[in-house]
Structure 1
Amino acid sequence: MTTLMVQGTTSDAGKSTVVAGLCRALHRRGIKVAPFKPQNMALNSAVTPEGGEVGRSTALQAQAAGVAPHVDMNPVLLKPESDRGAQVILAGKSIGSMQALDYHAYKRRARETVLDCWQRLSRRYDVIIAEGAGSPAEINLREGDIANMGFAEAIDCPVLLVADIDRGGVFAQICGTLALVSASERSRIRGLVINRFRGDISLLEPGLEWLEERENKPVLGVLPYLSGLMLDAEDSLSLEQCHDGDAQGMLKVVVPVLPRISNHTDLDPLRLHPRVAVSLVGPDQPMPEADVILLPGSKNTLADMQWLRAQGWESRIQRHLRYGGRVLGICGGFQMLGEWINDPDGIEGTPGGNPGLGLLEMTTTMVPGKQLRRVNGRLSTSTGTCSIHGYEIHNGVSRGPALERPLLILDGLGLEGQGLEGHSEGAISADGQVMGTYLHGLFDGPDACEALLALLGLAPSEQRRVDLDAHRERQLDRLADAVEAHLDMDAVLALVRPQG
């Protein structure tokens, strides 16, 4: 077994996509490969089959590798709750919230978990493609590092350094990073990769020759900018509009971008849908015309509810409903639809409670013990019943008469054998204008997506349906094709081939 680590000159340099592309390329060559991210900071997460929580990008990389996601692939997941604190997920389970300084002191314990998880993966796979976080040149975070060179040095693995030319200053990114790492760290960087290049490669070649001569490091590839590439984001939320919201017959969905928005990958099937226009509304921006207001997930429901109120969304939503619009809340957004939100123990932030939007007759209380499970269920509409699947990641428990009109009925057994047969989930108002659910990923299945959109007011059509899983597969193959075409795969295979 051998490990190759992909690090970046900056955050969002493209490490996640390069790892996904390498995993798919190696998988297609018949190599038993797995992704690994020692430490991730993200609010987009996924539930593994064994009931643990990992970063969403790691789950996508596992799909690229043709394997199920596992908590060993992402030992440490940090989910920011404020500018200075985060919930710490260790080996798939929450161990509570920590301030930044407290976590810095805790990293020695986290390092043990990282190495234990890596060793278990090492026994199951031929190759591990590890992903760094941020940049290895963040001097203030070098002590006790487990995310970048600290991990690479601990297991003695080679590193590829990825730089993003699209943001500018690519040579400064690379030379600056190489100047700031230690001599031993520099020596383990075996190749440079330039990502997101647009234009004529001949114009870049003199710079590449200069770079190789100056730094004595080979440039193993220049990956092109892949226009329209849409894969599960690690954390950043693209503000690109996928479709023209003024087109006739489009369902206009407006989403307030909460300060602590989580699992916004729920929006991906809607943004891909040929008859849905998704508008993301940030702070102090006007609300465009809407058929549906979708309240997304939140890592701190109370704080984001206060933000919504301060931004004037309460009156916007009331006016929207008076004119016949619909509202859908997912997870934290579902909790906001109720009459009251309580967090007596400060599980998501400062202890306390505040009124919700009062659109559903229910109260939510944050309680210890996060609900983590994948579920299947049924959605009933006027045209019939369809199956639906999704996953739950939440601490809150909601109670009240609104839940007597469920949106979904769950089937079968959940993880660890919990009986879910006939269990009601979510709520829908008597007039059908307000609905909510704890399930993430509820739009992922093509039949469920169409049925839910019909509930939200989209007229039936014969146009193609969106199959998110099939879309991911096509995008991963496209990414792997680019890696095969533009990266020196012989050099990469030499780095991952066991020595001796």
Structure 2
Amino acid sequence: MTRAIMLQGTGSDVGKTVLVAGLCRLAAKRGLKVRPFKPQNMSNNAAVSDDGGEIGRAQWLQALACGVPSSVHMNPVLLKPQSETGSQIVVQGRVVGQAKGREYQRLKPQLMDAVMQSWEEVRAGADLVIVEGAGSPAEINLRAGDIANMGFAARANVPVVLVGDIDRGGVIASIVGTHAILPEEDRRMIAGYLINKFRGDISLFDDGLAAITGFTGWRSFGVVPWLKAAGRLPAEDSVVLERLAKGEGRALKIAVPVLDRIANFDDLDPLKAEPQVEVVMVRSGERLPADAGLVVIPGSKSTIGDLKRFRENGWDRDLQMHLRRGGHVIGICGGYQMLGRAVRDPDGIEGDIREIEGLGLLDIETVMEPEKTVRNSTAHSVVFDVTLEGYEIHLGRTTGPDCNRPAVILNGVPDGAVSPDGRVFGTYLHGLFGADAFREKLLGSLGVTGGTVSYRAEVERALDEMAEELAGCLDVEGLLGLERG
């Protein structure tokens, strides 16, 4: 019978995604057929699964950690925020509609059938499934119809391990408080807890563990130190954007304007991994740094809204100055669309604004269309004559004279556009920076010499290192052996 455990957190960004990935790699190295599962995810960092639909980037990474193809069933419900109050809803890899927060709460019970169908698909043939919750089970105002945390755990009869983040402070209160406010039937689902992101001498927290167990009666599965290797993995939760620090001075500074609806910002991770590159995430209200050699405009879940905010921040003027200084600009997906003369939305797919002037750096126009392109892709860089691979997730059709100078050949078809002087280009291909040969030639053209890292190999090594660290600090036998009933 397939075993399963579910990691739920005392809040968002407590490290559940990384812990699940590390435990998946650990279990796989022990010879177990292990699979990840997340009933509901909210993220604009999406991936195209191996079976051709959209899932959270985190579940794609966790499947990689397991050494298995990714599937839409590993993340059956994906919410992609488009505004402060509404999200696009993706079920089993396909868009089924949009809903605002209160509307979605009413929809959740209907989505449980899809969640449970996917659950059966994932656990079939597996020895172990490691499930990741979302947010916190302590959000008892959302308990009715819940499919992300205790609602799923109870329905699937999966034991829960509660994860607390000691780095943010108040970890004892967060775990004990969760115990205090959970209804008894949910409290019984929790088999124990673990502490994450500890810095320093772990023995100093022995009294803390005793206090938590004393208040709750829950078993401790251990204390996880700050996992340095986790920094080499793709970041999934946009919460991390709030605290990304500017790095030290290096050979090349790359500026990235942080759009309100930034999507697939893990495109930037291979650049961040380069020791001679400083990637600066520019927040609203800040200026694009004058000493940047490259500006990358990332993907967006709301191109028109983010383009409007781009101008409000004065980044359009900064971008013009950047080009006058000899800088370069790359736009990816929504960022590519913004580089053109106009973006039109005749059907109101993104909202009430039907047309907006673009940044005018490429002689192209984009028209939003209802049909969404979602696929893994092979490609070839026209600019640097190297092989690429990645994926497409976008709405819209882009045309114009500069498309006669494509940036890439995508699945055999020209894609993207390049400015006449070659200093501005855009493409719909996500993941192009992940190609080591492309990244080396790009950085070399911007003055960075000395070779580049092998990004995918670094991710694999990071997963192996995390698995080894977790094996040394957690009661792994206890965790992997948990059963209900």
Give the TM-score of the pair, scaled to structure 1. Answer: 0.93
Cα distance in 2 between the residues matched to 1:163 and 1:96: 34
Structure 1 residue aligned with 2:360: 358
SS in 2 for 1:443: helix
Cα drift, residue 121 of structure 1? 1.2
Structure 1 residue aligned with 2:408: 408
Structure 1 residue aligned with 2:90: 89
Q: 2:248 is matched with which residue: 226, 241, 244?
A: 244
Structure 1 residue aligned with 2:7: 6
Q: 1:458 is matched with which residue: 425, 442, 447?
A: 447
Cα distance in 1 between the residues matched to 2:14 and 2:225: 13
After superposition, the C-alpha distances for 1:380-409 in whole angstroms (9 at most, x for unaligned) are: 44xx62111111010111011110000112
The AA in structure 2 aligned to 1:377 is A
The AA in structure 2 aligned to 1:368 is P
Unaligned runs of 5+ in 2: none
Structure 1 residue aligned with 2:399: 399
Structure 2 residue aligned with 1:157: 158
Structure 1 residue aligned with 2:417: 427
Cα drift, residue 125 of structure 1? 1.4
Q: 1:243 to 1:210 in 2, by over 3 A?
A: closer
Cα distance in 1 between the residues matched to 2:353 and 2:108: 26
Cα distance in 2 between the residues matched to 1:462 and 1:284: 35
1:477 counterpart = 2:464 = yes
Is the Cα–Cα contact under 8 Å of residues 18 and 230 in structure 2 kept in the other structure? no
The AA in structure 2 aligned to 1:444 is G
Cα drift, residue 453 of structure 1? 2.7
SS in 2 for 1:19: helix
How is 1:43-62 mapped onto 2 (pairs within 5 angstroms)?
A: 43-62=44-63
Cα distance in 2 between the residues matched to 1:181 and 1:370: 40
Is the Cα–Cα contact under 8 Å of residues 241 and 278 in structure 1 kept in the other structure? no
SS in 2 for 1:393: strand
Is the Cα–Cα contact under 8 Å of residues 153 and 185 in structure 1 kept in the other structure? yes
The AA in structure 1 aligned to 2:433 is F
Cα distance in 2 between the residues matched to 1:134 and 1:189: 16
Is the Cα–Cα contact under 8 Å of residues 37 and 132 in structure 1 kept in the other structure? yes
Structure 2 residue aligned with 1:378: 380
Cα drift, residue 241 of structure 1? 4.6
Q: 1:345 is matched with which residue: 347, 355, 360?
A: 347
How is 1:482-497 mapped onto 2 (pairs within 5 angstroms)?
A: 482-495=469-482
Cα distance in 1 between the residues matched to 2:230 and 2:155: 34
After superposition, the C-alpha distances for 1:119-150 in whole angstroms (9 at most, x for unaligned) are: 11121312111110000010211110000000
Is the Cα–Cα contact under 8 Å of residues 345 and 351 in structure 1 kept in the other structure? no
Cα distance in 1 between the residues matched to 2:430 and 2:99: 26
Is the Cα–Cα contact under 8 Å of residues 328 and 436 in structure 1 kept in the other structure? yes
How is 1:162-201 mapped onto 2 (pairs within 5 angstroms)?
A: 162-201=163-202
Number of residue equivalences:
480
SS in 1 for 2:124: helix
Is the Cα–Cα contact under 8 Å of residues 246 and 280 in structure 2 kept in the other structure? no
After superposition, the C-alpha distances for 1:340-384 in whole angstroms (9 at most, x for unaligned) are: 001122222334110000111111011112101111121244xx6
SS in 2 for 1:124: coil
Cα drift, residue 24 of structure 1? 0.7
Is the Cα–Cα contact under 8 Å of residues 229 and 466 in structure 2 kept in the other structure? no
SS in 2 for 1:27: helix
Cα distance in 2 between the residues matched to 1:351 and 1:105: 28
Cα distance in 1 between the residues matched to 2:120 and 2:188: 24
Cα distance in 1 between the residues matched to 2:428 and 2:202: 48
Cα distance in 2 between the residues matched to 1:495 and 1:365: 52
Is the Cα–Cα contact under 8 Å of residues 340 and 355 in structure 1 kept in the other structure? yes
Cα distance in 2 between the residues matched to 1:214 and 1:244: 44
Is the Cα–Cα contact under 8 Å of residues 243 and 271 in structure 1 kept in the other structure? no
The AA in structure 2 aligned to 1:458 is G
SS in 1 for 2:130: strand
Cα drift, residue 109 of structure 1? 1.7
The AA in structure 2 aligned to 1:470 is A
Give the TM-score of the pair, scaled to structure 2. Answer: 0.96
1:468 counterpart = 2:469 = no
Structure 2 residue aligned with 1:416: none
Structure 1 consecutive aligned stretches of length 4 or more whose deviation exceeds 6 Å: none
Cα distance in 2 between the residues matched to 1:135 and 1:7: 7
Structure 2 residue aligned with 1:106: 107
Structure 2 residue aligned with 1:295: 297
Cα drift, residue 322 of structure 1? 1.5
Is the Cα–Cα contact under 8 Å of residues 243 and 274 in structure 1 kept in the other structure? no
The AA in structure 2 aligned to 1:110 is L
Is the Cα–Cα contact under 8 Å of residues 241 and 277 in structure 1 kept in the other structure? no
Cα distance in 2 between the residues matched to 1:100 and 1:111: 17
Cα drift, residue 243 of structure 1? 4.5
